Structure 1
Amino acid sequence: MKRVVVAIIFVMVTLTAKAQSYVGFLTDNYSGVHGVIANPANIADSRFKTDINLIGASGFFANDYVGVGFSELTGSDFEFDTDANLYLTDNNNFSGNIDIMGPSFMFNVGKTSSIAIFTRARTILTGNEFNGESIDDLDDSIDESQDFMVNEGDFYMSGNGWAEIGLTYAQVLLNNEQHFLKGGLSLKYLQGFGNAYVTGKNVTIDYDADGATLPDSSTSGTLESTGDLYYGRSGDYDDDDYDYEVPDANGFGFDLGVVYEWRPDYDKYVVKGADGETSVMKNKNKYKLKLGLSLTDIGAVKYKGGLIDNYNINNTITQEDYDNIEDSEDLQNLYTFVQSNADINAKLPTALHFNADWNIKNHFYLNLNTDLTLRSSGENTMRTVNLVSLTPRFESKWFSFYVPISGYQYSGLQIGAGLRAGPLYLGSGSIISTFTRSEIKGADVYAGLKIPVYYGQPKDSDGDGIPNKEDGCPKKAGPIENNGCPWGDTDGDSVLDNEDQCPDKAGPVENNGCPWVDTDGDTLLDNEDQCVDVAGPVENNGCPWPDSDGDSVFDKDDDCPNEMGTVANNGCPEPVVTEEVQKSLNAYAKTILFTTGKSTLKDESTPVLVDIISILNEYPNAKFTVEGHTDSIGSVVTNQKLSEQRAQAVLQFLVKGGISPSRLTAIGYGESKPIATNMYKDGRQKNRRVEINLAQ
């Protein structure tokens, strides 16, 4: 039995594969229509105008039961019993698949959407929860006539083959410069080719080497077993000649996914056309980091009219019965058998995929991918193998090379290599480890041909980095901000329009191409005006004269620029009329002489009056009273009138001498304010006087 199990497993490696299809190739941004296998969102904003797959195939196998060296496996003298290494546990598993991708293509619908139509033929075979220790010990014990007891419990094996015709639609969901998001959905029609499964429930086996006594008194072994075995399959073979017929089996499935890209250098890939509209370079990968998340193979194939055999193996058989078991009819004769007819659902190997792709620099990338099965072990349930893969790669439009380093469930760490060269793609996720290790527990390989139609590098005749179709001047190099045209000089002032703040008016270079203006309207142009926003005289370079002390007298006219004064005093503070000055004025005034009995000034009074004018000019803001006085000779009325006339005569002389009349007041006091007695001649002479006093 051990030889049978081992042989079955290694036959499957040549017949099966899917879960981890095209390992390494699917990380490539130039995998084209194949991208829908991992994530249907991949085809949106791709590097292809269209991509046509002609034929491609991928095969995969992994197990944790048996390992062999590649050279031993391919040798002519290979023997399982001696050359295979068994790794026996109470929970051994295997998984394998084949994925053939037939004629398929993708193309873009507008600027943000893409569609793919694909065809695939797939088979998958899985086995879970086998007790490898029991299988090996049971076979050895029976061969060597030794007692043995095994509790196998539950185990599962299933296989399914089907074809898919799928339609994928992918759409850009967000394009916010640095942040880019796209989503996709694949709908698949499924046609089943064949399905079979074997399930064991509570299986136990007890072998007694001397359990039966034969007629000749010799003994023979007995095999006591309990539990149930279920064998279900689609009814696709004629019982007599085994002619294959396509079963009545179909179903629907779907995949969905999203992809996020971080594009920190987004501006490098934006082209502004002559019409002012912007476009993004289609032929370039624009991301620094790309993250993808997808669910695949959601659905099932329903096989109508399937057959289900149920064997209740609660029985004890002899060694001879065991040795004579060749087919199912022999089993039916030994155990309770019931066959039923019912529809069978073969569930697809639903899986969750996460992918992170980092653009290290230019053409070099590092990819992290995980595949996680969402199916648990069960009757007629297909499961993918869990996988974590790290893949460095070199990627360009016509050539890519990748080295996936993967940790596979069941078969462990494997290292592979793959390449894409134009229409050819081939590789393996395990080829390096297969040829460098002493033994392997799994392997995979893929190859195919396609017709890729890439977005080309846009033609740029003038070499300014702007494609001709977006270039306003395709034969003259110019900056992107001027639609690819060289900057002109519209006003001919030798300042190019991109730097000319007044492109339609000639102006000097030092004023950024604008003519000089007179901002403050003081007739001095701004280039010569040291105070362009405040009007000022030309002689002060366009600036207003300063008035440092704020006395309304500009510094240029202010004799005291740092000390507040008066306009009349040329900006200096007014002098104070002191008591000494007052005495000096009156001393002068007392020497003013008049003709006796009249108000006529004598000529000898002129120098005195001139001196008085000089003193008054020293106090330009001071006001004075000119007071006339007489002695008591004559009538009071006559004396009063004479004093007024004499005061007025002095005032007029002072006004004619330049003193403002507003500063002077003439008053006559007659004989009312004597300063000496009028009884004597000397006293009367002192009383006949003029006084000039500071007005209070």
Structure 2
Amino acid sequence: MKKTAALILFFCVNFGFSQSYMGYTMDNFSGIHNTIHNPANLADSRTKWEFNLFSASGTLSTDYTNLTLGNISNLLGDSGFDGLERFASDQNNFLLDADVVGPSLQFSLNEKSGLALVTRVRAISNFNNVNGALFESIYDGFPTSSFAFEQNNLDFATHAWGEVGLSYGRVFLANPNHVFKGGITLKYLLGGGAVQGGSNTLTGNFNDATGQVRLDGDISYALTIDDGTTSIDYFEELAPGFGADIGFVYEFRNAKSIAPSNNNNPRAFNQYKLKVGLSILDLGSINYTGTEVTEYTINANVNAQELENDFIDIIEDNATATSTLQDVKWSLPTTLQLNLDYSVTPKLYINLNVGQGMVNKNEFFNNNRLNLITLTPRFESRVFGAYLPISHSSLSNTAIGLGLRLGPLTLGSSSVVSNLMGSKSQLAHLFLGLKIPVYHKRSL
């Protein structure tokens, strides 16, 4: 089981999707998803109460190939990378991020506070500093000519976990022009399993005359799931942990932005001209006990064909291995989110969101998310919302998407325009959701 899992996670990228609800989380009528982005949004929410039935968001980003619609179909099907243009380098990167929000409830307690109970299942995979030429040789077969390679600072990590979060938001300060809110989410975490591995240095060369590959260096990996674990044992042995989100929101209001709510229910209207939000998401960790950590030192000539067929077995048969049992603290992908939302008209908004990871991606036992800057023009009303997210990161480059909210249904992507029209897209994202929202009533 450990060999199979490590092999799949290390050199077999059979892509499934995800990052979280980009564009939609900024909508003041998105309820629970607005709270997920910043728990301070619970206070003075447009949502009286809301029940989320199901929603899912997924992101894939890589600099190894372009993520056009046709290429994505290949990657999700049986073809994989076959037939795709690739951009192999000494430091290729892959990121996958999946987020499923299950049955969840949010409601207003009074004019100043709100409460939410949120269930989620999440998974993140990072492959950092992958030597593209070596990857292609193992994936496609070694070429007909000799070549040398050098793999440095390889890091791969996959983690899946569940969350049950209790959120509370409150208005701390309110006057005609200035409103200040705060919120917190406390999470109980259930670790579903993780694999972490890498290599400080792995150098070598392929000799086409002999069909041999010279390997010199180190490889290590840690897997939290034991051999022989049954499905019943698996769910009984989910690892515990605790986490938190914390956020603050400031709203500037003027006479023009407040006007629609005059002589009406103020909680039924957005009253700000400018909203500034700051949140720290995914503080915390999960403790995995008895994790086997294996380190390999290899200095050997191996058969290229055998290396293609079973990379892990060949490494184990030709390397010196040292294994230890360790208690591992796996950190959540902590991020800092800065959000600016400007009301152009009562229904038209311009949003700027900056997301910055706060974990060191080169350290063991953590994952990292995309450092995204996203500009989103948005139209929102009680029954309809439309979003045009334009995002950029060093890995995904620039991506353009489109999202829609129609009553209880939400569907969108932060990359679909780029995937359809651009030949150099490096981001693929999709989200969808179904919920039962009830908003604060407006007087007739």
TM-score scaled by length of structure 1? 0.58
Offset, 1:133: 4.5
Report matched runs for 1:357-396 at 5 Å.
357-377=341-361, 378-396=363-381
Q: Which residue of 1 aligns with 2:21?
A: 22
The residue that corresponds to 2:56 in the other structure is: 57
What amino acid does structure 2 have at the position aligned with 1:303?
A: Y
Indicate the SS of the match to 1:66. coil
Question: Contact 1:119 / 1:163 at 8 angstroms: preserved in 2?
Answer: yes
- CA distance 1:68–1:181, shift in 2 (3 Å): closer
1:230 aligns to what?
220
* Equivalent-residue separation in structure 2 for 1:252 and 1:155 (angstroms): 29
Residue 66 (structure 2) aligns with: 67
* 1:93 Cα offset (Å): 1.1
Q: 2:240 aligns with which of 250, 253, 266?
A: 250
Task: Note the alpha carbon deviations across 1:89-140, whole angstroms, 9 max, x for none.
Answer: 3222111111010111111223211111100000110111223245447888
| 1:268 maps onto 2:249 in alignment | no
The alpha carbon displacement at 1:382 in A equals: 0.2
d(CA) in 2 for partners of 1:355, 1:427: 20
Contact 1:232 1:307 in 2 (8 A): yes
Q: Tell me the secondary structure at the aligned position of residue 223 of structure 1.
A: strand
Q: Distance in 2 between matches of 1:204 and 1:244?
A: 40
Q: Name the residue aligned to 1:614.
A: none
Equivalent AA in structure 1 for residue 31 of structure 2: G
Matched to 1:122, the amino acid is R
Aligned twin of 2:339: 355
SS at match of 1:349: coil
Is the radius of gyration larger for structure 1 or structure 2?
1
CA deviation after TM superposition for structure 1 residue 409, in Å? 3.4
Corresponding position: 1:109 with 2:103 = no
Decide whether the 8 Å contact of 1:101 with 1:119 is kept in 2: yes
Indicate conservation of the 8 Å contact 1:194/1:236, yes or no: no
Displacement of 1:271 after TM fit? 6.0
The answer to whether structure 1 residue 31 and structure 2 residue 21 are counterparts is no
Distance 2:121 2:334 in 1: 17
RMSD after superposition: 2.7
Q: Which has the higher contact order (CA 8 A, sep 6+)?
A: 2
Partner of 1:44: 43
Contact 2:258 2:272 in 1 (8 A): no
Give the secondary structure class of the aligned counterpart of 1:123: strand
**1:165 maps onto 2:164 in alignment:** yes
Q: Secondary structure at the match of 1:37?
A: helix
Q: CA deviation at 1:62?
A: 0.5
Describe the superposition over 1:549-571 as per-residue Cα deviations: whole angstroms up to 9, x where unpaired.
Answer: xxxxxxxxxxxxxxxxxxxxxxx
Distance in structure 1 (CA, Å) of the matches to 2:258 and 2:84: 59
Q: Secondary structure at the match of 2:12?
A: helix
- Aligned partners of 1:258, 1:284: CA distance in 2, in Å? 20
Q: Which amino acid aligns with 2:338?
A: F
* 2:435 partner letter: K
Q: CA separation of 1:230/1:408 partners in 2, compared to 1, >3 Å: closer, same or farther? A: same
My pick for the range that moved more, 334-343 or 80-89, is 80-89
Paired residues of 1:391 and 1:403 also in contact (CA < 8 A): yes
Q: Kindly tell me: are residues 336 and 171 of structure 1, through their superposed partners in 2, closer, same or farther at Cα, counting changes over 3 Å?
A: same
1:571-614 residue CA offsets vs partner (Å, 9 max, x unmatched): xxxxxxxxxxxxxxxxxxxxxxxxxxxxxxxxxxxxxxxxxxxx
Residue 442 of structure 2 is aligned to residue 457 of structure 1? yes
Inter-CA distance 72–90: structure 2 relative to 1 (3 Å threshold): closer
Per-residue Cα deviation, 1:499-530 (whole angstroms, up to 9, x for no partner): xxxxxxxxxxxxxxxxxxxxxxxxxxxxxxxx
Q: Does the 8 Å contact 1:68/1:83 carry over to 2? A: no
How far 1:430 sits from its partner (Å)?
1.0
Taking the aligned partners of 2:431 and 2:138, their CA distance within structure 1 comes to 38
The question of 1:346 aligning with 2:330 is answered yes
> Is the contact between residue 6 and residue 66 of structure 1 (CA under 8 Å) also seen in structure 2?
no
C-alpha deviation, 1:72, in angstroms: 5.1
Name the count of aligned residue pairs: 433
Closer, same or farther: CA 198–290 of 1 in aligned 2, 3 Å: same
Paired residue type of 2:59: F
Moved more, 67-76 or 194-203: 67-76
Alignment of 1:631-646 (within 5 A): none
Report the Cα offset of residue 244 of structure 1.
6.6
Compared with structure 1, are the counterparts of its residues 128 and 182 closer, same or farther at alpha carbon in structure 2 (3 Å cutoff)? Answer: same
Cα separation, 1, equivalents of 2:186 and 2:290: 26
- 1:630-664 CA distances to partner (integer Å, 9 max, x unpaired)? xxxxxxxxxxxxxxxxxxxxxxxxxxxxxxxxxxx
Deviation for aligned residue 1:222: 3.2
**Structure with more strand by fraction:** 2
Partner AA of 1:260 in structure 2:
Y
Taking the aligned partners of 2:300 and 2:231, their CA distance within structure 1 comes to 31
Is 1:180–1:261's contact at 8 Å kept on the other side of the alignment? yes
Cα distance in 2 for residues equivalent to 1:406 and 1:54: 28
Deviations 1:2-47 (A, max 9, x none): xx999833x22x2x42xx3111111100010111221111111011
Deviation, 1:407, is 1.3
CA contact (8 A) 1:300 1:348 kept: yes
Amino acid at match of 1:207: F
Q: Which amino acid aligns with 1:118?
A: V
Query: What is the CA–CA distance in structure 1 between the aligned matches of 2:437 and 2:134, rounded to whole Å?
Result: 52
**What letter matches 2:253 in structure 1?**
R
Q: Provide Cα deviations, 1:362-396, integer angstroms capped at 9, x if missing partner.
A: 21111111111112222232001011111111111
